[in-house]
Amino acid sequence: MCGIIGITSLTDKNLAQITVSCLEKLEYRGYDSVGVASLQGSILEVRKAKGTVKEVVQKKNILSMRGNVFLGHTRWATHGPPSDYNAHPHTDCSNSIAVIHNGTLKNFKELKESLIALGHIFRSETDTEVIPHLIEEYRKKGFDTFTAFKKAVLDLEGSYAILAIVKGENRIYFAKKDNPLVIGMGEGTNFVASDIPAFLDYTKKVVIINDGELGYVTPTSIYIEDLRGNVIDVTKRIRIIDWDAQAASKEGYPHFMLKEIHESARAINDTINGLLSETELVEEITERLKGSDRIIVIAAGTSYHAGLYFTILLNRLGYTALPVIASEYYNINAKRGDSVIAISQSGETIDVLMGIRKMKEKGATIISITNVIDSAISRESDYKLYMRAGPEIGVAATKTFSSQLAVLLFLYAYLAKIDYKELLSAPEVIKNSISLGEGIAKKVGEELALQKSVYYLGRGLSLPLAMEGALKIKEIAYVHAEAYPAGESKHGPIALVEKGYPVVFINDGELTDLLENNLHEMKARGAKTYAISVNKRLGAETEILIKVDKDILSPFAISPIIQLIAYYASTAKSLDPDRPRNLAKTVTVE
């Protein structure tokens, strides 16, 4: 959570403007307060406030700031509520050092107490503020800035991506542990940020920073060392990213979410082509899965629903497959012989990371499916598969859900000895589903927006899709939604159903007869029924029916529709679907 950007340049031209444009790209990571620090020679200035990037830029006249070095931060509060004084950057007592941070520091209370005892004055409730004071303290003891920075970092326990600047120095110090940090290399201007899309308008040349590394960037150089002091050869780390800046802009759509739903066909086309280019790896992975005692699938949120879909298929094939909600990882006793499939769009979700670390220690083999190249989760895996869906900016996962399903169904096709070419028409199915279903999805979304609560019911493979539908409308339209196995609804949930209570059925065509019984039970109690059906009509009052010619393609017909329903429910309430309250795209705190 929290987005951070640092820019150091030979010139001060447009740097405030560039910082703001980077912050706009990072805002999906947190948006309760914003701050910027500028540094020109010995003039260090900090402007910050509660609010969105747009509000704070205007309120604090950020564009009038001048300097060769800039830091920008957009916050998702952990320690201390959103407020002007808790906004980053934080400074030391003499306002000579400014720091921004993404992560949480477990030992900040002890550090703060000892710093206060030494006479330091704190001005916020954040954990971050200990960092500038620690650097100040070590500098007071006579250490040069880099040594003082390193010593401060060694004092920290917890997770962090930190950027620090110091009066009189045209450089940005950085350190990383468990939270993402990437360097962007420009011409006479270098960037350090939470993610690549932040600076994609300015450079595609990147260096990924690994856990435990720290260093500094100047406008023309990069210095990285690990915590043992070994110097890293940066030239070996440089990568050129093939995402274009356009992919990270709205391209005329009112919201990223809508653009990204419409991009799903292109995304899974790239996913499938990527997999076709690495069939040897896919074969190696499926051989490994075949020889596993158990297949543990670990993920959070939307990625968990994709994982659940896969485990149902695996269990049906005769494998012992276990879906694990990442934040409950400590309940699982993995062992040698188990394979773990970790699914994560960001590749940074801390619970997934902690889960795979624990299971790896126990001897399990880790296979990751992520979208962000070289993310922490992929780096710590034995086998890595990528979704190649391109950057996803909307907080709600949309095109990456379809891409995750594409990767998982590709693996399934290998395991089930189904011709994987059946998946090649998945992009067409998505396009067709959107063009047939978007109008009705809008009407359904607008109706559901008026409701307090809604059930999403499914059976078999439709259940994870029902769960995803419920999560989507909950997270971006703030409509309470609960997903249930349709048969189980008689064991409690049906008690809530009365005249007009909305029930959405997800009917992938496999268990339509059984679902029909459940539909009648709901109708008999006055429920207002909706259905998203594949191939077989269910008989709901409002129904979207999409035809596919292969069973394996049915989730691609359903996924864009559940997303569009949530999108239109959100916009019907005049909410911003890209920035749902209290949420952040990447959850990097446990």
What is the end-to-end Cα distance of the chain in Å, rounded? 11
* Backbone phi, psi, residue 58, to 5°: -75, -50
Distance CA 211, CA 178 (A): 6
What span, in angstroms and rounded, lies between the C-alpha atoms of 526 and 513?
Answer: 20
CA distance 266 to 428: 10
The amino acid at 104: T
As measured in angstroms, the least distance from the Cβ of 290 to ligand AGP is 26
93 is a catalytic site residue? no
Residue nearest ligand AGP, CB atom distance? 301
Query: Closest approach of Cβ 326 to ligand AGP, in Å?
Result: 7
In whole angstroms, the minimum distance from the beta carbon of 181 to ligand AGP comes to: 17
- Closer CB to ligand AGP, 372 or 430, in the complex: 372
Interface with ligand AGP by CB under 6 A: which residues? Answer: 300-303, 344-346, 349, 352, 395-397, 475, 583, 586-587
CB nearer ligand AGP, residue 8 or residue 400: 400
Cβ 325 to ligand AGP shortest distance, Å: 11
List the catalytic residue out of 2, 48, 176, 204.
2
| Nearer to ligand AGP among residue 268 and residue 587 (C-beta) | 587
User: What's the token pair of residue 273?
Assistant: 């082509």
Cα(448)–Cα(480) distance, integer angstroms: 10
CA distance 460 to 297: 17
Burial class (CB in 10 A: 0-12, 13-18, 19+), 167: middle
Nearer to ligand AGP, 232 or 583 (CB): 583
Query: How far is the C-alpha of 461 from the C-alpha of 79, rounded, in Å?
Result: 40
Chain centroid to Cα 74, Å, comes to 15
- Candidates 525, 567, 580; CA nearest to 254 is 567
Q: How far apart are CA 52 and CA 548, in angstroms?
A: 43
Surface-to-core class of residue 248, CB atoms within 10 Å of its CB (0-12 exposed, 13-18 middle, 19+ buried)? buried
Q: How many residues does the chain have?
A: 590
- β-bridge pairing 383-386 and 365-370: parallel
Residue 349 or 518 with smaller CB distance to ligand AGP:
349
Please state the closest distance from residue 371 (CB atom) to ligand AGP, in A: 8
Residue 236 annotated to the active site: no
Q: Which CB atom, from 103 or from 301, has the smaller least distance to ligand AGP?
A: 301
Nearest CA to 505 out of 552, 549, 537, 480 is that of: 537
Q: Residues 48, 50, 384, 585: which is the catalytic one?
A: 585
Q: Which is nearer to ligand AGP, 300 or 440 (CB)?
A: 300
Shortest distance, position 3 Cβ to ligand AGP, whole Å: 15
Question: What's the min distance (Å) between Cβ of 286 and ligand AGP?
Answer: 22
Specify whether the CB–CB gap between 472 and 465 falls below 8 A. no
Residue whose C-alpha is closest to residue 136's, from 125, 127, 145, 128: 145
As annotated, the active-site residues are 2, 585
